Amino acid sequence: MTLLARISAGLLLWAFGFSLLYALQGAGCAYGWQEIPLFGASLLRWALVVTWVLLVAAGLALLRFARSAASDFERRVTLATTLAGAGAMLVTGSPVALSSICT
């Protein structure tokens, strides 16, 4: 069970993070957070960007955890799936910082 959890942790983090960002954006648009200015941007933009940065940092922290695997096979598979999850989090989360929030 530990092997399965270790191997899928990066992709599970990506799935959780993608869902969290999507839900946060929907809730923020529904409640009008894009209209509240905060340090040169909107409250919604800050909430999304901070959440995205924390999720990317968690993905990078998982890389460090993945290197401590017991066998060489487990280490390589865990690193590959964790890199895939961290890369997916970086790419799929980047629109929160680069595009318009609510249309």
Any idea where the domains of the chain sit in the sequence? Answer: 2-98
Which pTM was predicted?
0.81
The Cβ of residue 62 has, within 10 Å, a number of other Cβ atoms equal to 22
Q: Is the pLDDT of residue 16 over 90?
A: yes
Mean pLDDT for 75-99 is 86
Q: CA 74, CA 82: separation in Å to the nearest integer? A: 12
Under a CB-based contact definition with an 8 Å cutoff, are residues 38 and 46 in contact?
yes
Q: Which residue has the tokens 């066998």?
A: 71
- Alpha-carbon torsion (75, 61, 13, 83), positive or negative: negative
Q: Which residue has the tokens 């964790």?
A: 82
Tokens representing residue 103 in the block: 């249309």
Summarised one tens digit per residue, pLDDT across range 48-83 is 999 999 998 998 888 887 777 778 888 888 888 888
